[in-house]
Amino acid sequence: MDDTVSKRPSAATQAAQRQKERERLAQKQERERVKALKAEQAARRARERAQALEEKEKQRLYLEGRIAETEAQNEQIADTEEELGTLLAATLDVDDYLDLESLKEHPVLPSFEPGTLSVAEPAPVESDFLPKELSGLAKLKPGAGKRYARDLEEGQQRHKAEVEAHAERELTRLAELEDARRQHDERVVGIKEAAEAQNREIDEFRSRLDAAEPQAVVDYFSLVLDKSSYPSEFPKQFKIAFVPESKQLVVEYELPAATAVPEARAFKYVKARDAIETNPRPAAQTRALYASVVAQITLRTLHELFEADRDEKLETVVFNGYVNTIDPATGRPITPHLVTVRVSEDAFRRLKLRKLDPQACLKGLNASVSKNPAELAPVRPVVEFDMVDPRFVQESDVLSTLDTRPNLMELSPREFESLITNLFEKMGLETRQTQASRDGGVDCVAYDARPILGGKVVIQAKRYKNTVGVSAVRDLYGTMQNEGASKGILVTTSGYGKSSFEFAEGKPLELLSGTHLLHLLAEHADIEARIQPPDDWVDPVPDSPSTEERVES
């Protein structure tokens, strides 16, 4: 018997093995856990890096957007400044003349397009309705001949019916074609008549303009100013009146407020605060730019009016520029005038608008300009627009024989004298009558009792039908100097020529036309008067009229 005996592992050995196996498994699991943790950490770091890069890109794009926004605002300011600085220059290459012929309609008449109505439907062909003729063998079949004859008759009947239906359809088509042509012809006639009516209106307007009818002159120059292109935020509102006696156009023009000048001089982006900050425009710069805008609009309007006046309807233009705004002291709406100027066409055409300084130019034209337009410091208009308002010279709708308004041209010299004296007394002057002037007018010396602004005033009034000559203005100035007066006023029932206005320019003289006189009577004396010279009226002749005066008369 073999003494060798197989030994089985002891329980301790087995337990040790199991423990060792568990340790190996635990170590493996730990390695796998650590590996997974590292992978997760790597993935998280990758995500964080990606997020950081994404956030950085977002920040970069946001920063670029804010910078671009700031640059856009600065570009807008620069564009506005350039636009405001070139208001006058922008019109110099534009022909402001309004060719009335260009307003006429020359319509392109539509052609007649009847479509399918112009195409006649083909007439039905009889053979399309008839049976095929029997062939040799087919004829031999029993009853073939009768069937053929029956089919032939039916085909002929169908063809006849279709011919009749076709004829009816053709009649309908021709009727519809005729109706379409009639409608087209009516439309063409309507287009022609509308164009002809508009063209007749333009021709009539041209005739009235050629005759220098005041309303036609006003309408023409209103169209000229309507064409002028300004920044969209400008009000572009105006009123125009025409004084035919002196060929003077008076324009009451609404100017943009000082807010037209941007409050900001520039914008700056501050990254630390993520804010676009405003660099405010200095007050002095705002005042200077706004004063330039006012001056440019004044010269631009004068230029557009004179350039459009190819038919020489105008001798002088008065421009009154005002603003519609709110009085900061009272909160009430006000319309202060910021500029007023009267200039003759001859004087204006001598200007070199491309080279001059607008503000210096206005000073040279003896314009009255606000000392501080941005602060709404007002000036007194050269001519009050209400004084040339057409309503004061329009005749009543009733017959002139029924007009109860006094006609200044029918008053006796003493009545006219008393009327003028009463008027200036109502206006606050202390009047003293002098001897009658040798040309049939009224002379008086008045005193303005106001301190500083008041003083002695020489007043002359002349009832004239024709334009008052410049010699009368010279005589008034001489009388004023002889009397030691501070001001001279010449008022007439007619008007003045450009020579009179040019002579009075810069002197303490005020020339009041017939429309002025009517307005002053209504405003201060409650007298609604009219000026209608009799057919046989002859203007008084001064002792020594100048050649220029005779020409102007």
Does one domain contain both 489 and 545? Answer: yes
Tell me which H or E stretch contains 460: strand 455-462
Does one domain contain both 328 and 438? Answer: no
76: tokens are 């807008």
pTM of the model: 0.69
Does one domain contain both 157 and 267? Answer: no
Does one domain contain both 369 and 437? Answer: no
Does one domain contain both 403 and 383? Answer: no
56 falls within a domain = no
End position of a domain, from candidates 346, 367, 388: 388
Whole-angstrom distance, CA of residue 278 vs CA of residue 265 = 8
Tell me the pLDDT of the chain (553 aa) as tens digits. 555 555 667 787 878 788 888 888 888 888 888 888 888 888 888 888 888 888 888 888 988 888 898 899 989 999 999 999 999 999 999 999 999 999 899 999 999 999 998 899 999 998 888 888 877 777 777 877 788 888 888 888 999 999 999 999 999 999 999 999 999 999 999 999 999 999 999 999 999 999 999 999 999 999 999 999 999 999 989 999 998 888 999 999 999 999 999 999 999 988 888 888 889 999 999 999 999 999 999 999 999 999 999 999 999 999 999 999 988 888 899 999 999 999 999 999 999 999 999 999 999 999 999 998 988 889 989 888 877 755 444 433 333 334 567 888 888 877 787 788 888 888 888 877 565 555 445 577 888 777 666 788 888 888 888 888 888 899 888 888 888 888 899 988 888 888 888 888 888 898 888 878 888 888 888 888 888 888 888 887 664 444 333 333 3
Does one domain contain both 506 and 538? Answer: yes
34 falls within a domain = no
Whole-angstrom distance, CA of residue 50 vs CA of residue 47 = 5
42 falls within a domain = no
Looking up residue 408, the CATH number of its domain turns out to be 3.40.1350.10
**Which pLDDT does position 159 carry in this prediction?**
92
| Side-chain-side CA neighbours of residue 406 (13 Å) | 13
Does one domain contain both 367 and 408? Answer: no
**Which pLDDT does position 256 carry in this prediction?**
95
Question: Residue 10 pairs with which residues in a beta bridge?
Answer: none
183 falls within a domain = yes
Whole-angstrom distance, CA of residue 255 vs CA of residue 323 = 5
**Which pLDDT does position 314 carry in this prediction?**
95
Does one domain contain both 234 and 374? Answer: yes
Does one domain contain both 349 and 431? Answer: no
**Tokens 């307005």, residue located:** 519
**Sequence-separated (6 or more) residues with CB below 8 Å from residue 59:** none
Question: Residue 321 pairs with which residues in a beta bridge?
Answer: 253, 339
**Sequence-separated (6 or more) residues with CB below 8 Å from residue 205:** 100, 216, 219, 220
130: Cα separation from own chain's centroid: 78
**Which pLDDT does position 310 carry in this prediction?**
94
7 falls within a domain = no
- The burial class, CB within 10 Å (0-12 / 13-18 / 19+), for 367 is buried
Neighbours of 542 (CB within 10 A): 18
Domain residue limits at 202: 119-210
Question: Residue 429 pairs with which residues in a beta bridge?
Answer: 448
**Which pLDDT does position 479 carry in this prediction?**
86
Does one domain contain both 254 and 328? Answer: yes
Question: Residue 90 pairs with which residues in a beta bridge?
Answer: none
Side chain identity at residue 97, one-letter code: Y
49 falls within a domain = no
69 falls within a domain = no
Whole-angstrom distance, CA of residue 477 vs CA of residue 221 = 34
Count up the domains in the chain and report the number: 3
**Which pLDDT does position 546 carry in this prediction?**
40
Does one domain contain both 344 and 196? Answer: no
**Which pLDDT does position 390 carry in this prediction?**
52
3-state helix, strand, coil in the chain (%, to 5): 50, 15, 35
Neighbours of 6 (CB within 10 A): 4
Does one domain contain both 164 and 290? Answer: no
**Which pLDDT does position 435 carry in this prediction?**
56
End position of a domain, from candidates 388, 416, 447: 388
